[in-house]
Structures are given as C-alpha cells and as structure tokens.
Structure 1
Amino acid sequence: MSSAVIWEIRNRVGHIVLNQPERGNAIGSAMAQALVHAVRQAGSADIGAVLISARGKQFSVGGDVGEFVQNRAQLPALIAQMLDLLHPAMHGLATLPVPVISAVQGPLGGGGIGLALCADLVLAADTVFLRGGYAALGLSPDLGVSYYLARRAGAARAKYLLMSNRPVPARDCLRLGLFDELHEPQALQAAAVALAEELAGGAANSMASIKRLCDAAHTQSLQAHLAAERSAMLGCARSTDCDEGIAAFVEKRRPLFRDRH
C-alpha cells in the first residue's frame, strides 16, 4: 500500500493514519487510492474500533490544489475519477459496524472535514481550526462535508460555515457539536487511543446496534424506529455478550465481552 496512508492494527483497533505531512495531508490521487485500500482493510479485519489520525501539523488541508492546477484542462475528469473512488470508500468507512474515532491534531479543511466528521466520535486538539475552503475555489463540498456539517451543526449553520469560508476555532467547533472532546495537543493522541481501545473491548452487537440506530434516527418514522429498536434489543439479548454483561453486573466486576462480528 502507498505510504500516503498507514494501516495497522493494535489491540483490536484499526489505525488509519494520513501520512503525507509535507503536503498537509492533501487528498490527491495517491492519498485517495491509499485511503480506499485502508478502508477495505478495515472492512475485512477482525477489529473492534477504527481510529483515524494524521501526522504533521495539519490533519488534512482537503483536496490537492496543486494537482488541480496541473490538470486544469482535465479538472472535471480528474475530480470525477477521484470521487468515484473516494465516495464509496467514505460510505464504507462511515458504516463500519464498529465505532470509528477521529483524532484531529491540526487544522482541517475541504474533504479533510468529511474524513474527520464521518467518525462516530471526534476528538481534537484545542488549538485546531476548521475551514471549508470550497467557496474560495468556486467549488462545492465533497466527501460528505455538507452532510456531516449539517447533521452535527444544523443546515443553517453548515451553510454559514461553507459560504462564509471563515475559520472556526476548536472551542466553537465543540460548542456547535462538530467535535465531541477537546484535549491539549500533547494529550490528544493518547486520549484517542485510550478511547478507541476501550470501545474496541465493548460488546460487538451492542456497539453496532447503537451506531445503526442513531444513524437512522432522522431517516425513518418513530414507529419504524421503535420496531428497529425492538429487533436490535432482541438480537443483543440473545448474544453471549449480554449474558456476560449481566453476570458482570451481578458480580460487580468488569465484563469480558468476546463476541465478534
């Protein structure tokens, strides 16, 4: 796999690490192909969680504008080719049946926003900022950026952030619900790894059901949602992890969940 993205498994956590710090982890052709490969690995691995992080000063500046400049005459074709790769991968990453966490250590913009916010839980350094970037280039959002901004902050706020193209400091991102936790820069990675490993040790059916139900909450009626909750609850109740969880509660000890997807 290209070194643009590193994939590795530690303690049942799959790590997806953006690894082009000298380019601001810009999402160009090489990064796109490497991300697709990493997501495929995550989809087939025996893991309990995924942690997305990045090396360098930026989490990701978004699209590789330098590559856009080099291919101005064929820009629509280049963008179409990249999105045909990336959008299915983004869907696959967001819908993994395990918790996905992102650790945002530096500024993020453009498609980097989608890569960070597609996670179920977003941890960030308190020094970072978010900036759309699309409006300045005469482009519209991709990689789910408008989707995740609207779901987390509301459509009106998402339009303001993307149209105004103003930088949003980390504490404002936390207030708007874009980030879930803020940490001092030097403490971020350890906090994100600890959370990922904690969730990776959780009950697999419970985690998958919580994720699926919450993600579906705005797309179906209350009646349909209650039926989905019933089905999920019964499925979890039949699992050996449920037996273990109840036994651990009675015995006042930590549960040792062992079910796998």
Structure 2
Amino acid sequence: MLLWVLYPNTMAQDKDYKTITTIIYVSGDSPAERKDDLRTCLKHATHHTGETWLTEPSLTKNTDNATEAIENETPGNSVTIEEGDWHPPINQLLICHDKTTTKNGLDGMMQGATKSNQPYSLIVVHPDELIDRANGAERIQELVDCAVDVHLAEAGMVVTSGTAIKGATKRALTTLSDALHPSHDHDTDATYAWSGGRPPLGFEVDGGRLVETDEYDRICTVLQQVRDSETSKRRAAKRLGCSRGTIINALEDRPSMYGLV
C-alpha cells in the first residue's frame, strides 16, 4: 500500500473516504526541521489517534512524500494525504503548515478546527506551535472548547476536549512552553532590565539584567497554585522561604514574569 498525496480540492468525488479525524500542524525554520517535526507527528498519529495505515509501506516513505508535498505548497493551503489502498472507505489525514515567517497555516487550521462540529485530534510537536506571548494558551483553550483533543507529540501529553486550561494543566503547559517563560536572549522589554534594588522572586542579576534562578520553575508552579486557589499565600511563602508580601507583589505587580497571564 502506498501513500497518496492530494493537494487542496483534488480528491476524487467518486471515491469513498473516511471522515478526517486527525489534523497535523507543523512549522519550522528549515525544511529539515519541518520534516523532523512531521515525522514525529505522523508517528504519534499511528500510535495515539488510530492512523495505523501510515506505517504502510513505511513511516519513513510516507514522511518523505508528505514533506515534499508541504514544501511545494503555499503556507495556508493544507495538504491531504490518503492511503493508497483503493478498498473503501479510504483513510485520510490533513496537514496544515507554516514556514519561518508565516502564520497562514496556523490561522487556517484554527478556523477550520473550531468552526466545524466535527471532533478532531490535532497533533503538534511542541506547545509553542500554538502558544505565544501575546495570546498565552488561548488557542489551546479555544480548540478544546470546540471538541478538539490537542496532542503534544514530543511530550506525549494530550489536552482533551472540554479541559479548562488552569491548575495542573496550565502548570504543565507552562513548564513545557518557552513562550510562557521570560526570554533573556534579545534586547526587548521581556529581557527585564534591572533598575536596581533587590531582584524579584526567582531572579538574579547578570550583566545588568534579571535572569531566572534555578528555582524559577518551582516558584512559577507555586505562584500558579496560589492564583488557582490551590494553596494559600502564607503556605506559598513558607515553601519558597519568603514573606507573604513578596508573594502578593509577584501575583499582583509582576504576573507576566511568572506566566500567570
């Protein structure tokens, strides 16, 4: 059995297709990176979303074919792949994609997945495919509110439809996502220039800028628990070895520094 790659609006109308239930979204800075991500997502689909047909004739061959298809297609135009077995009904899978500077594929995927009454499994390699500083985890929340299970292939994590992005789920996403952590590798407001005085909780001064300490992730987790009413400010202060006032300052004055917004 061979994999057939179909471009938009080219599916034969006289063939009996199964309804698409799995969507893959990939992006990346290079063709090699996108290929690696696509391989990871296709492998995840074979084991976790029922797309076992992707192993015929081999996952490697099907990854090569699908990669060639997305590299030759404009971002924003999805690519449908189907099994080459002509015995109906025929399995299909949808791939949405972006290149370095585009978001057309992401926007199209979000619109298609959230405007349909069809439940989907969406597979991405990393949560930062869907999360950014401006929107936080809003895209993931929107997807799961619309009957979409969001699979994070690299971490093996699934955010199931109907899940509220708070508590343990929010903490897990914060731990996995680079976008929900402050960035210190370029000169923007997010690098937190130091203006003097005692550094905020979880930070230290390095070269005139505030950088995360080794305790930063644990501090974020505890602060998120306070925000979500899972622990008290007093208990949080005791766990982190600081005053209750320091906890209040972190929550009320600097929430973005700890992934709380």
TM-score, normalised relative to structure 1:
0.27
Specify the structure having the higher radius of gyration (Cα): 2
TM-score, normalised relative to structure 2:
0.27
